[in-house]
Amino acid sequence: DTGVSQNPRHKITKRGQNVTFRCDPISEHNRLYWYRQTLGQGPEFLTYFQNEAQLEKSRLLSDRFSAERPKGSFSTLEIQRTEQGDSAMYLCASSQQGDPTPLHFGNGTRLTVT
Amino acid sequence: QQQVKQSPQSLIVQKGGIPIINCAYENTAFDYFPWYQQFPGKGPALLIAIRPDVSEKKEGRFTISFNKSAKQFSLHIMDSQPGDSATYFCAASVTGNTPLVFGKGTRLSVIA
C-alpha cells in the first residue's frame, strides 16, 4: 500500500491557462474522490467515481472543470481558463466499495493562479 | 448552507490538557461521523469515526461523544501532546448515498 499519489505537488499558472492534475489511488480502491480545500476551510467535495463511472458532481464543479477516470485506475482533473479564484489545494481520496469506508487522502496539488 | 458546523476555530492547550472540539449538524439522515487530522502540507487522515447507534467511542487517547437528540458530536483528546498539534476536521455523510461533508476545521496547538 503506497498510498494515494498526486502530481504535481505544486502548480503555478497564469490566469486563463489550462491545468491538469493527476491522482493515482490505492490500487485495490474502486472509489475515487476529488475535493478542494482553501486556506482555513475544510475540504469541499467536487466529484467522485466508482470505477470509471462518474457518479456525482458538486455544483462547485463549473463547466471549466472536468474529471476523468479512464479504465477505473488513475484520474485526472482539468481546469480550463483558470481564474484566480481557482487557487486552492486540490485533494484526491480513494476508498474501497462498501459503506462506510474511510477515505484515504493524498497530499494534494496546490494550485496558484497569478 | 454549511451542513456541519465546527467550533472552535482554534484552540491552544497545555501539554496534558484535554482539548474538546465540537460539531453540530442539521441533516438527520447523516449516519456516519468521522474525524480527520491534518498536518501542514499533508492530506487529512482518518482519526476515529462513530455511527449514531452508540453514544461514545474511544480509540487510544481519542474519544468521540455523540448526542443524537442534540445533533452534536465532539472529539476529546486525552493527555494531549505537542505532536497532536494539527488541524482537526469533523465530517458527516449518509451511508451509501452522499460523499463526506466536512466542517471548517479547528487548529489545535498543544504547548509544552
**pLDDT tens for chain A, residues 1 to 114:** 579 999 999 999 999 999 999 999 999 899 999 999 999 899 999 999 999 999 999 988 899 999 999 988 999 999 999 999 999 999 999 998 877 778 999 999 999 999
Confidence of residue B19 (pLDDT cuts 50, 70, 90): very high
Please report residues of A whose CB lies closer than 8 A to that of B99. Answer: 33, 45, 48, 56
Which residue from B43, B93, B104 is facing A42, i.e. has the nearest CB? B104
- pLDDT score at B1: 55
A42 touches chain B (CB under 8 A): yes
Residue of A5, A54, A103 for testing the chain B interface, max B β-carbons within 10 Å = A103
- The residue assigned the cell 487517547 is B61
- pLDDT score at A1: 54
Question: What is the helix (H) or strand (E) element at residue B13, kind and residue range?
Answer: strand B10-14
Instruction: Tell if the CB–CB gap between A105 and B99 is shorter than 8 Å.
Output: no
Which residues does A70 contact at the CB level (< 8 Å), separation at least 6?
A52
- pLDDT score at A57: 93
Which residues does B64 contact at the CB level (< 8 Å), separation at least 6?
B33, B35, B48, B49, B50, B56, B57, B58, B73, B74, B75, B76
